[in-house]
Amino acid sequence: MSDRKTDVDCFYGLMSQLSERIGGPHPLLNFTSVVSPGVKGVYYIFEPGETRAKSECLRVVRVGTHGLTANSRSTIWTRLFEHLMYNGRSVFRVHVRDALRERACEPNQDPYSVDSRSITDHIGNMRFMWVQVDEENGHDTRKMIERDSIALLSNRKPDSIDPPSSSWLGRSASHHAVRKSGLWNVHYTSHKKYAPDFLTVLKTHVENTNDS
């Protein structure tokens, strides 16, 4: 447990450095004004009220990337746009929708309050930061950083380090991977191992990321 705890602390140290470089985390709803359309990389999403254990530091609730083939034209901008579109092609959006619907079934809740706008509003109220990864063969690096970040942060392990709050919306998600991991992710949450040296790669890209 101690080794993973050290790596998680290292990861959040890098998030702190990233925050200083890009002035984040930024409201997701305002992403078009803070990240340029052509930027490629990995993005990290934070949720108001979701903090690390015994800390006021916001914890990551989703890790994502885009364009995992060499010829893909997808960017961070296009991916975040899909998350916010009313009919966006976004699994993240589906998870949030299902959780909101489940909460709406609870006593004293309005079952008709969940529509496309409320889903967009909930996601748009989250915060995000991004790491630029746009070198040659960057799609492989983006996939590695995404995969190992999720595996490191997932709480689908006996040694839960930064569990979600009792009120986190994801606890009402329909997919057990979201509920158990504390992340709005499914893929890679069950990975028991991650490559610790990915943090070195992440550090390099954090240091090369600028406010777009």
Tens digit of each residue's pLDDT (9 = 90 or more) over 88-98: 789 999 999 99
Closest Cα partner for 173 from 98, 61, 63? Answer: 98
- Nearest CA among 72, 103, 78, 108 for reference residue 90: 78
Q: How do the domains of the chain map onto residue ranges?
A: 2-207
pTM (predicted TM-score): 0.94
Q: Tokens for 172, please give them.
A: 């009402």
Inform me whether the pLDDT recorded for 55 exceeds 50.
yes
Q: What are the backbone angles phi and psi of residue 26, rounded to the nearest 5°?
A: -100, 150
Output phi, psi for 106, to 5 deg.
-75, 160
Query: How many helices (H) and strands (E) in the chain?
Result: 7, 4
Please say whether the beta carbons of 59 and 51 come within 8 A: yes
Band of pLDDT at residue 119, cut at 50, 70 and 90: very high
- Evaluate whether 133 touches 141 at the Cβ level (below 8 Å): yes
Q: Which of 47-61, 90-104, 111-125 has the lowest mean pLDDT?
A: 111-125
Percentage with pLDDT > 70 across the chain: 96
Token readout for 33 is: 């004004």
Contact 130, 21 (CB under 8 A): no
